[in-house]
Structure 1
Amino acid sequence: MRIRERVLLPLALALTMYVAVAFGAGKEPVVIDVRTEAEWNTGHVKGAVLIPHERIGAGIGAVAGDKKSRIYLYCRTGRRTALAFDVLKKAGYEDVINLGTVENAARELGRQIVK
């Protein structure tokens, strides 16, 4: 290996790592169930967290302090996700995705529904 390759390859790798960390690459998205606790207990997407839609503004900071975090929302019909979506966007969250129903969220994310 030539000197140029021994110097440039580590620099390129370091730059790639810096960009990944600086721009959030590799961060796990946050999946939020905005239904009630009773609905959650009937089945929810694996890895999701429960924050009922009426508490999303107060509870989001505990799971996504970075306003650039990717956040997926779901509920039973999609109505409450739309409400939560609006609250998060108004609060400055940039990457919020409304997945609609729990079944659609599981399908789109490739995750199981667990109880």
Structure 2
Amino acid sequence: MKKILLVLIAVGMISGVVSPSFGAETAKPLIIDVRTEAEWNSGHIEGAVLIPYELIGDRIGAVAGDKSGRIYLYCRTGRRSQIAKGTLDKLGYKDVVNLGALEDAAKAMNLKIIK
């Protein structure tokens, strides 16, 4: 009986380690604010990085080495983040999401706006 219990515990521990979803909940998303520095300074999503939309093609490699990882973008209205998404799509990034405006993005990600 003890051996069966130990085997079940061991199998449970191993299956958790090799599960494809293991750690998925703890992975920190990449959130990019594509607005200007002045807009960023007036408030941005906690944990976001600033890369103005016109510089995204040149600077994305510094923050996103994996082109298959999810990237979230936002700006003031969604227009600039859509332009940035197009740039990243052309560069081969596979999972880019335009969250639209700052407030919409914060709500969708359930994150605070830092001022």
TM tier, shorter chain?
Answer: 0.7 to 0.9
TM-score (norm 2): 0.84
Q: Distance in 2 between matches of 1:61 and 1:24?
A: 24
Alignment of 1:22-101 (within 5 A): 25=24, 26-101=26-101
Give the deviation of 1:9 after TM superposition. Answer: 4.2
Secondary structure, counterpart of 2:14 in structure 1 = helix
CA deviations over 1:71-93 (Å, ceiling 9, x no partner) = 11000111111111111112121
Q: Distance in 2 between matches of 1:13 and 1:90?
A: 42
Structure 2 residue runs without a partner (length 5+)? none
Aligned twin of 2:111: 111
Secondary structure, counterpart of 2:40 in structure 1 = helix
- AA in 1 matched with 2:36: T
Aligned twin of 1:10: 10
TM-score (norm 1): 0.84
Structure 1 residue runs without a partner (length 5+)? none
Q: Compared with structure 1, are the counterparts of its residues 24 and 94 closer, same or farther at alpha carbon in structure 2 (3 Å cutoff)?
A: farther
Q: Distance in 1 between matches of 2:48 and 2:109?
A: 11
Give the deviation of 1:43 after TM superposition. Answer: 0.6
Q: Distance in 1 between matches of 2:4 and 2:54?
A: 58
RMSD: 2.1
- AA in 2 matched with 1:14: I
